[in-house]
Chain A
Amino acid sequence: MATLRSEIAGIVTSEDIVRVRHMVRDAAVRLSFSLVDQTKIVTAASELARNTLEYGGGGTVRIDELADHGRLGLQLIFEDRGPGIADLNQAMQDGFTSGSGLGLGLGGAKRLCNEFEIQSKPGEGTRVRVARWK
């Protein structure tokens, strides 16, 4: 698996969510994702970026353009140093939220991607990795 391109962005304000959406869209266009696939990964990025901002108190995202045996993919890694998630199973459920959202962020983002991985420790922060392949 080779990384074709990689960039990192900070997520500190709600304008940054829009910026992340644009960066992910550009990356998906570079990998010539179909329009539906582009929209899916951009929407997933938007959900996760908002989580990073609202629940993690801000953090970073790394956007990797990958190639694996001729398949192209986009990998996003969101990291924050926020309070972390105590019960991951609960957090993954639709409709559960500790904030003011709809509680669709994590579960929804998982459904919009091919790969989903979450690590979190209370008090240390959260790391979410998603990938979508062409």
Chain B
Amino acid sequence: MKLGEFLLVSIQVDMHDKLALALQQDLTDRIAATGARGVLMDISALEVVDSFIGRMLANTAAMSRVLDATTVVVGMRPAVAITLVELGLSLNGVRTALDVERGMQLLRAAVRQPWEEPDGDTPV
């Protein structure tokens, strides 16, 4: 789903490995085709993220970075986060946010051009 200059991907099903790879492929193609600046991956429906899916998320983030797009993973469940950390996978290269709304804020802040003035509300 395209939202302005961002892509929103909502993963709804328990994916088997081939499907996860297909999604990764599809997504990088779409980033290149649409010139999207940011990708929001909503995984709030996922009850399990094992090392394979975790690697898919990390790879997608890395690939989109090469394509000049920022990836934010949003909506990870607490039980999933605890399990991933225990598994030894802390997805260090991946940006995260609590929900879609926060993710959008993060994306907007990230793609703001460095020479643009920051918002006026920072305390002086």
| A–B proximity contact (CB within 8 A) | yes
Max chain B Cβ within 10 angstroms of own Cβ: one of A18, A47, A50, A107: A18
Max chain B Cβ within 10 angstroms of own Cβ: one of A17, A46, A50: A46
Whether B34 is near chain A, meaning CB under 8 Å from some CB there, is: no
Q: B79 touching A38 by the CB < 8 A rule?
A: yes
Q: Mark A7-47, 1 if CB is under 8 A from B, else 0.
A: 00000001101100110010000000001101110110011
Whether A104 is near chain B, meaning CB under 8 Å from some CB there, is: yes
Selected A-B contacts with CB under 8 Å, 29 pairs: A14-B16, A14-B17, A15-B16, A18-B14, A18-B15, A22-B14, A25-B47, A36-B78, A39-B47, A39-B79, A40-B82, A42-B48, A43-B50, A43-B83, A46-B48, A47-B50, A50-B52, A102-B51, A102-B55, A104-B88, A104-B89, A105-B51, A108-B51, A108-B86, A108-B87, A108-B88, A108-B89, A111-B87, A112-B87
Whether B49 is near chain A, meaning CB under 8 Å from some CB there, is: yes
Q: Which residues of A contact B (CB under 8 A)?
A: 14-15, 17-18, 21-22, 25, 35-36, 38-40, 42-43, 46-47, 50, 94, 101-102, 104-105, 107-108, 111-112
Whether B8 is near chain A, meaning CB under 8 Å from some CB there, is: no
**A102–B47 Cα gap in the complex (Å)?**
21
**A25–B48 Cα gap in the complex (Å)?**
10
> Looking at the complex, which one of A14, A22, A40, A105 makes contact with B86 (CB distance below 8 Å)?
A40
**A60–B48 Cα gap in the complex (Å)?**
21
**A residues in contact with B47, CB < 8 Å:** 25, 39, 42
**B residues in contact with A35, CB < 8 Å:** 79
**B residues in contact with A38, CB < 8 Å:** 79
**B residues in contact with A17, CB < 8 Å:** 16-17
Whether B104 is near chain A, meaning CB under 8 Å from some CB there, is: no
Shortest C-beta distance, B56 to chain A (Å), equals 11
Q: A36 touching B82 by the CB < 8 A rule?
A: yes
**A40–B55 Cα gap in the complex (Å)?**
17
**A residues in contact with B49, CB < 8 Å:** 43
Whether B18 is near chain A, meaning CB under 8 Å from some CB there, is: yes
**A38–B79 Cα gap in the complex (Å)?**
9
Give the residues from 25 to 77 in chain B that come closer than 8 angstroms, CB to CB, to chain A. Answer: 47-52, 54-55, 77
Whether B9 is near chain A, meaning CB under 8 Å from some CB there, is: no
